[in-house]
Structure 1
């Protein structure tokens, strides 16, 4: 995608399938040697504590830096987005993820594993334990539900504090719903201006409608953006 390597925070409008998707992008062009990531909780101890609270069993984290970790509160639309990433459209209703949902995408020589962990309270205990295995964090927000923006902000900043260098793609989902807030509003509401200059950051508006691939604005752009970020971190 042209212009993705421009340093600094910029706003751009992309004409897409009958609408506009606004992108806020921060990308560091010059690769710098990154210090070790922030100290994360002990995975085994955190897993045991979560399971004692009744959270369902999740798979062991994969090798370091192999996954795109997809998180967000319940009802944000994570599962629908992953279906669109994999197939280009959503042909049937999907149920909220009760545990985890995984898909794989192959792009030329790059193999990408997407791991979604459900957003209900008992599953949020698992989120941080998977951070050190992620190469990119995708955080999905229901942009038509401002009442939950503060809770989303709390959990997102907890994740970002644990790893100050992990690239972040924030998807302001459900842009087609009445009252949905734009990406500039989400950027402010989630205080993304405080995440630090060392992090690659993108905020993108998305929407998914069943059986109408042409109206799924922003989804393929988000997919290609994630693939490019994985390519850059893999190089």
Structure 2
């Protein structure tokens, strides 16, 4: 009977609760591809997200409720409606989209200043590293001045949503961060 409870405990996560994450970024950054790479460990055909997608993901012994929110200009003003009880923000950046880097940087700092995200952790996913001309994670970190962020735990991870490369290393950091804080 004890092993049955132990297995049930592991099934629902080490701490027995679901952790809410929000995946944000500009349109065409790869947010939905990343969500389904985490869920299915495979690439799925996606179309632009209107509103949001939500999936439960189990990683290590933690259960996550991941909200993938549309990144089109008309939808960004509604991002804050998803912030309640968010424990981590996954910011997906198209590492080849140099023209809109300033725009997503402004969105990031606006998010981090929101009261509902005061204690949220930040995982920046520098996506599309497989493409020619992609900025490195170090270059993006410098452009975003990430080292100036002192009131949020943060990490930047180079990745490729299509292959999954780097995605699980980012989640390793996040789960370690979340279990360390409990």
The aligned residue for residue 131 of structure 2 is 177
CA RMSD of aligned residues (A): 1.8
How much does 1:108 deviate? 6.0
After superposition, residues 176-215 of structure 1 pair within 5 angstroms as 176-196=130-150, 198-209=151-162, 215=163
How much does 1:121 deviate? 1.4
How much does 1:96 deviate? 1.9
How much does 1:107 deviate? 4.2
The aligned residue for residue 98 of structure 2 is 146
The aligned residue for residue 98 of structure 1 is 50
Whether 1:86 and 2:39 are equivalent positions in the alignment is yes
The aligned residue for residue 122 of structure 2 is 168
In the aligned structure 2, how far is the partner of 1:108 from the partner of 1:175? 25
Scaled by the length of structure 2, the TM-score of the pair is 0.82
Larger RCO, structures 1/2 (Cα 8 Å, 6+ apart): 1
The aligned residue for residue 112 of structure 1 is 64
How much does 1:130 deviate? 2.2
Bigger share in helix? 2
In the aligned structure 2, how far is the partner of 1:108 from the partner of 1:216? 16
In the aligned structure 1, how far is the partner of 2:143 from the partner of 2:60? 37
Scaled by the length of structure 1, the TM-score of the pair is 0.64
1:146-179: per-residue Cα shift (whole Å, max 9, x none)? 1110000010000112244321000000000110
In the aligned structure 2, how far is the partner of 1:107 from the partner of 1:73? 25
Cα 1:111–1:154 shift into 2, 3 Å: same
How much does 1:110 deviate? 2.9
Cα 1:172–1:146 shift into 2, 3 Å: same
In the aligned structure 2, how far is the partner of 1:95 from the partner of 1:174? 17
Cα contact 1:73–1:120 (8 A) shared by 2: yes
In the aligned structure 2, how far is the partner of 1:103 from the partner of 1:167? 19
In the aligned structure 2, how far is the partner of 1:111 from the partner of 1:165? 19
The aligned residue for residue 176 of structure 2 is 228
How much does 1:82 deviate? 0.7
In the aligned structure 1, how far is the partner of 2:125 from the partner of 2:59? 21
Gaps of 5+ in 2: 1-17
Q: Secondary structure at the match of 1:132?
A: coil
Cα contact 1:172–1:206 (8 A) shared by 2: yes
